[in-house]
Amino acid sequence: MEEQQDRNGRVITITSGKGGVGKTTTTANVGAALAARGKAVVLVDADIGLRNLDIVLGLENRIVYDIVDVVEGRCRLRQALIRDKRLTNLALIPAAQTRDKEAVSPEQMRALCQELRQQFDFVLIDSPAGIERGFRNAIAGADEVLVVTNPEVSAVRDADRIVGLVEAAELPPPRLIVNRIDPELVRRGDMLSVEDVLEILAIPLIGVVPADETIVTATNRGEPVALDPHSRAGQAFRDIAARLLGEEVPFQPLDTPDGVWRRMLRALGFGSRA
């Protein structure tokens, strides 16, 4: 995190519409995975009033200044940046807990993103749920958007709404992360498959994260699973980071080797051709 001037980083907003689908966990883990790859990464918690990202990263006790302090000029940007305890090139700008979404305007967010992209390769913005001011703030300065959804009808419905709003904001089509998929439930027909989700949303897929109970314990401990080489969910997050870096990474098979899953990915142009 040396003060290298103008890295011209990418501003990527992680959003979902519906709450509780795993935006914050995704932001923390994709950020950690990118940082582990040597990139300078800053995570911005745009969920003002419902601060969470610091907890997932285990940095709660280090907060002195927050995003509202920065935009209102009570501190320098540098003072609000919290350096991660594991990865020196990962930083966090926490949300304010005692204010609400109205405390920041889209213009202020845009200016903040401009400032951050000069110092970092990746600026990841954790959007609040909903489609109101908080969401508009979160995408104001974005170059790209990642939409997180669960294989549930209600989450997909909200994701669809978000995709429409992102397109209306004249951003490029967002890419999709399907989080918490359970291959066994899909096989039994009790859960939407990735294919079902893609059929409705019709946007490019960038990640499929399997349901993994280690996420819950890791999140509570403030340890991103992306840093755990044995976690399947962690591998999925590392794959997303690699795809953001432009690498062609095959999707992990969730099912038996020649299941529907593989065939579907191949049909989409992902995965091994063999």
Partner 1 sequence: MLDDERARATVRVRGTQDGVRLLLPRATPLAVVLEQVRDLLESRSSFFRGAALTLDFSEREPVLDEIAALQQLLDRHGIRIQAIGAATSDVRQRLERWGFRTETAEPARRLRLIEPDSEQTHDGSATYLRRTLRSGMSVEAEGHLVLIGDVNPGALVVAGGDVLVWGVVRGTVHAGRHGDTDAVIAALRLAPMQLRIANLVARAPDRGGQLLDAPALARVVDGQIVIEPWRIERR
How many residues bind partner 1, per CB under 8 A? 12
Question: Cα 14 to the chain's mean position, in Å?
Answer: 4
User: Does residue 47 interact with partner 1 by CB under 8 A?
Assistant: no
Question: Is 10:114 a contact under the CB 8 Å cutoff?
Answer: no
DSSP state of 227: G
171 binds partner 1 (CB under 8 A): no
Question: Could you tell me if 175 and 206 are in contact, meaning their C-beta atoms sit under 8 angstroms apart?
Answer: yes
Residues 119-148 that bind partner 1 (CB under 8 A): 131
Annotated binding site for ATP: 18-25
Annotation: binding site: 18-25
Contact 69, 88 (CB under 8 A): no
Rounded to the nearest whole angstrom, what is the least distance from the CB of residue 222 to partner 1 in the complex?
A: 35
Stretch that binds partner 1, among 66-74, 114-122, 134-142, 156-164 (CB under 8 A): 156-164
The single residue among 50, 111, 171, 200 that binds partner 1, judged by CB under 8 A, is 200
Q: Which of 47, 54, 158, 239 binds partner 1 (CB under 8 A)?
A: 158
Q: Which stretch binds partner 1 (CB under 8 A): 117-125, 155-163, 172-180, 186-194?
A: 155-163
Tokens matching residue 199:
């059929």
Supply φ then ψ for residue 79, to 5 degrees.
-70, -25
Non-local (6+) Cβ contacts of 118 within 8 A are: 5, 6, 7, 8, 9
Q: Which chain residues interact with partner 1 by CB under 8 A? A: 131, 153, 157-158, 160-161, 163-165, 167, 200, 202
